[in-house]
Amino acid sequence: MLSTALQGFLVSIGLIIAIGAQNAFVLKQGLKQEHIFWICLICAMSDAILIFSGVFGFGQVVQSHTGWVDIAKYAGAIFLFLYGLQHFYQAFVKKHSLEAGGKDESSLLRVLLICLAFTWLNPHVYLDTVILIGVISTQIDGDKTHFAVGASLASFIFFFSLGYGAKFLQPLFKDYRAWKILDVCIGFLMWGIAYSLIS
């Protein structure tokens, strides 16, 4: 049981740990200390739903209905382009620091909707989490449930570590210029991922 769960954990953490749009969003919210628990919970729960779906056969449905992936691809690209544009605006127009961050805190609903968009409008999530993990799960000897639990646990540990661990970088982000650099990096990351989706 433990070895099967560990296999799922290692496969999942290897896919999640790569720098992506969702991770950048969680990191920034962690730096701002805004709604961290709910953001991490939404990300981890979404991953768990997708992982269990993939392990128990939904990956075959996704592969046979590629139109859904195409819809997510273009909707996700538009979302990422606009979100990247917002970060460029923040970098070059808005003076931002940790002290100022609390004065214009985003509403919980707005932040959660953005968080859900990062997860469910990202076709890479379906390809990696649903299809790839689903396919790998068919190769294991142990119980698929244990494999899915291990993979889901990796998501919970990663997102909560990223969200709450970001506070250790807060001293650096007392300077508004650090925020500008972060916003520019996130902006280019979002545009790069958007381009990769449609190219």
Could you tell me the residue range of the domain that residue 131 belongs to?
2-198
- At residue 61 the predicted structure's pLDDT band, cuts being 50, 70 and 90, is low
What does the alpha-carbon distance between residue 22 and residue 39 come to, in Å, rounded to a whole number? 10
In this predicted structure, which of 10-14, 57-61, 133-137, 173-177 has the lowest mean pLDDT?
57-61
- Which is more confident, 17 or 116? 116
Query: pLDDT tens digits, residue range 147-198?
Result: 899 999 999 999 999 999 998 888 887 777 888 888 888 889 888 878 877 8
Scored b (16 or more CB within 10 A) or e, 159-196 reads bbebbeebeeeeeebeeeebbbebbbebbebbbebbee
Q: Is the per-residue pLDDT at 101 higher than 50?
A: no
DSSP code for 174 = G
Domain count, the chain: 1
Cα dihedral sign, 75-135-6-152:
positive
